[in-house]
Amino acid sequence: MIRELNNDDFDGLMRLYMELHSNPFPEKDDRVMSVWKSIIDDKNHHIIVAELDGVIAAACVCVIIPNLTRGQRPYALIENVVTSEKYRRRGLASACLDRAREIAESENCYKMMLLTGSKESGTLDFYRKAGYNSNDKTAFIKWL
């Protein structure tokens, strides 16, 4: 099932994110839960998940960013695309990206941008197959 995240999904999403950057499961302290609530309450912050067998097996983030150019049409930023190793090659991440596109279109976005830190050809080919290109823009990152 492809759906948007709900308030009860914290543990499942954090377990999946442990595979994204080898992060430990965060302590549910006030700071972490404040960030969680902020995300859940933000109408422009969408976390799309693929649930299989009661497990959050894949996810992506789609943030709608208001904009004063391009006829004041917003744009979407896609981040944190991940599929649990156990559930890969089933089209789950593609389905999450498709739902993100539907959200972006319904919000009248003029573009979607996706960044990846991966240099693996399979990952880059996956994004190209999903309709993203690496030719139109150049991304620069400044880590803080």
Task: Give the full edge-to-edge strand order of the sheet including 55-65.
Answer: 2-4, 45-52, 55-65, 75-83, 112-114
Summarize pLDDT for 56-73 with one digit per residue, the tens.
Answer: 999 999 999 999 999 999
Helix, strand, or coil here: 35? Answer: helix
Quote the tokens at residue 12. 């499942």
pLDDT score for 139: 86
Q: Can you list the domains of the chain with their CATH numbers?
A: 2-129 (3.40.630.30)
Which secondary-structure segment (H or E) carries 94?
Answer: helix 92-106
pLDDT score for 22: 80
At residue 21 the predicted structure's pLDDT band, cuts being 50, 70 and 90, is confident
| Predicted model pTM | 0.93
